[in-house]
Chains A and B, each alone.
Chain A
Amino acid sequence: MTMQDLIVTRLHQVAHARAGDKGNRSNISLIPYNPRLFYLLKEQVTESKVLELFLHKGATKVTRYELPNLPAFNFVLDDALEGGVNSALNLDQHGKSLSSLLLTMDVKVPNDLISR
């Protein structure tokens, strides 16, 4: 594949996600619409890039788990919920909307794999 085949797009175009909470820890699944994108996303949506995206929320650590048979990823973000339902002053105390924040990340993917 040549570089011309790759385009930059937001994760939202190529994957879906759901966020859950436990205490001050958030987990966000990331599921590519096209299973063939799994390895490209594995290269690009790294723990450090996700941590960077959530640093302003107070996140201190991101752990990525891989589920190749689905295929999907599960990101666990420590300290990302301002205390969570226990104490956050954020309107979204559970961080339910954080799945959408993850989907704002830019990725570089082949044009023909964008179709859902």
Chain B
Amino acid sequence: MAPPTVYIGCGAGFSGDRLDAAIPVVNTLTKKKGPKYLIFETLAERTLALAQKHKQKDPSHGYSPFLEDYLRPILKTCADSGIKIVSNFGAANPIGAAKKISEIATQLECKSLRIAIILGDDLLNVFSDYEIRDHPVIEGLEISDQEIIAANAYLGARPIAEALGLGADVVVVGRCTDPALVLGPLINEFGWKENDWQHLAQGTMAGHLLECGAQVTGAYFADPGYKDVPDLAEVGFPIAEISGDGSIIITKADETGGIVSEQTVKEQLLYEIHDPANYYTADVILDISNVSVEQIAANRVRVSGADGKPHPPTLKATVSIDGGWMGEAEMTYAGPNALARAKLALEVLKKRCQKLETNYPIRFDILGTVSVHSGDMGLDNYDSFGIDGDYRVRIASKGQDKKIVERINQEMLSLYCSGPSGGGGFRQHLTDQIHTASILVDRDKVATQIEFI
């Protein structure tokens, strides 16, 4: 008989998420009766390309750099209380991640932890460079003639479910769809069939709600006086309670801050969704256009009404290519007449950059006026802002040649001795850029394998 309720907690919603967040989630899960899972979502679009670069430098690297920080505090408790862990922290090196987990498990004296690895997302093993470039781009930049750093398909939930069915306690994936981390365990527990679109849709929606961690429990939400959140510093990460009929209750770890309300769930439900009737995943096309949310108790919200349509014949894949360099440099002017001095600094910078005769795009900003909400090249009129203040001049540029980008940053540095009065606090960044393009690949070309170590 299928179990009545599956408990799935989330310990991380992105590659740099709070390191101790999983501890209260695990403590709460240990008190539940029934199948229990903990997921970590740590792989944004370009994170995998960065991981690939790390692996190129050192073949033992290339998985989530925080893997140990996330797992060490909770791995033994999970092993002892049967909480299974599913995560994409394998990134560019799932085997390396699995070996590391095994090493930590041995140190912590966890009893016989079975660690599964899902392979097959890496398209560089499937297609030639030419074949990858031959796919039309559906999103992002065109694939230029620059080097392809990584190309990975978003795998679905089936291989995760299969690995769990084979007895895995920990499942390590590279690239999979984020909701698959939740849907995989649900398919394993409830045996939802490949064409059971309605249940797959509810499970995918549960995954979508959990995949960004505390974004559904009051984080990325607080707006003092409008949307108040208790104890945001200790925000509790989410736990979903899902039944075999697909019904979902979103709640959070016990004895934590944060809040689960209809408002927090609505914001996360629509996060990074485009057409609500057609959210494509590897397992199902999710339709949330008729979804309802209902607060049934404090910090407990029921979410219902997801619908599903047959999954597409293709899988989405992200191709990452070298994107040259971005330079950013900043200097502050403060106190009497600060805005006039900041404007003069910009004027000087513009003249100096003209002299460089580069066609690289360059953006000029005065932070403290309007910056992130202004147009592509910053504001042209600062007259409505106070003449006294604390203003920060910023320059940003990009291009293939590192030397030119460095040189543009240098023009800001030179303002120390050669610019307006009283400039201070110079900082600069020079970052190598990764460009991404999304393509669709034939799902029959992508073969997944499960390995145990």
Considering only residues 250-295 of chain B, those with a C-beta below 8 Å from chain A are 263, 266-277, 288-293
> Are B227 and A16 in contact (CB-based, < 8 A)?
yes
Among all A-B residue pairs, the 3 with the closest Cβ atoms: A20-B272, A29-B270, A89-B363
Q: Kindly identify which residue among B140, B221, B290 contacts A86, using a CB–CB cutoff of 8 Å.
A: B140
**Once the chains bind, are A67 and B227 in contact (CB under 8 Å)?**
no
Contacts of A67 in B (CB 8 A): 270, 276, 288-291
Contact stretch, chosen from A1-9, A38-46, A69-77, A105-113: A69-77
Per a CB cutoff under 8 Å, which of B288, B375, B438 touches A58? Answer: B375
Q: Does B398 contact A87, Cβ atoms closer than 8 Å? A: yes
12 contacts between A and B (CB under 8 A): A16-B223, A22-B274, A29-B271, A56-B374, A57-B375, A67-B291, A85-B46, A86-B323, A87-B435, A89-B326, A89-B398, A90-B372
Chain A residues near B289 (CB, 8 Å)? 65, 67
Chain A positions near chain B (C-beta within 8 angstroms) = 12, 16-18, 20-25, 27, 29, 31, 33, 56-58, 63, 65, 67, 69-70, 72, 74, 76, 82-87, 89-92, 97-98, 100-101, 116
Q: How far is the CB of A47 from chain B (nearest CB, A)?
A: 14
Report the bound CA distance from A12 to B394 in whole Å: 29
State the CA gap A76–B274 with chains docked (Å): 6
A-B interface contact total, Cβ < 8 Å: 116
In the complex, the answer to whether A83 meets B141 with C-beta atoms within 8 Å is yes
Give A20 to B140 CA distance when docked, in angstroms.
15
Can you name the residue of chain A whose Cβ is closest to the Cβ of B323? A86
Of B139, B375, B398, the residue contacting A56 (CB under 8 A) is B375
Known: A22-B139, A23-B438, A74-B276. A91 touches B267 (CB 8 A): no
Q: Beyond A18-B221, A20-B273: 14 further Cβ-contacts under 8 Å?
A: A16-B263, A23-B140, A25-B139, A31-B267, A56-B375, A67-B289, A82-B376, A83-B141, A84-B140, A86-B323, A86-B433, A87-B435, A89-B362, A98-B373
Give, as a whole number of angstroms, the nearest-CB distance from A21 to chain B: 7
| Nearest opposing residue in chain A for B227, CB measure | A16
Q: Is the interface of A mostly helix, strand, loop or mixed?
A: mixed
B365 within 8 A of A: yes
- A-chain residues with CB within 8 Å of residue B372 when the two chains form the complex: 90-92, 97
**Residue on A nearest B141 in the bound complex, by CB:** A86
B5 an interface residue at 8 Å Cβ cutoff?
A: no
| Residue of A21, A56, A67, A82 with most chain B CB atoms under a 10 A cut-off | A67
Cα(A12)–Cα(B26), bound, Å: 37
Assess the A31–B266 pair: CB atoms within 8 A.
yes
B residues within 8 A CB of A70? 266, 269, 291-293
Q: With A21-B272, A65-B289 in contact, do A91 and B394 touch (Cβ < 8 Å)?
A: yes
Does the CB pair A86–B435 fall under 8 Å?
yes
Given contacts A12-B226, A70-B291, contact A86 B436 (CB under 8 A): yes
Chain B residues with CB below 8 A from A21, complex form: 272
Contact yes or no, B263 A31, CB < 8 A: yes
Given contacts A65-B275, A86-B435, contact A58 B263 (CB under 8 A): no
Give the CA-CA distance A57 to B12 in the complex, in Å.
32
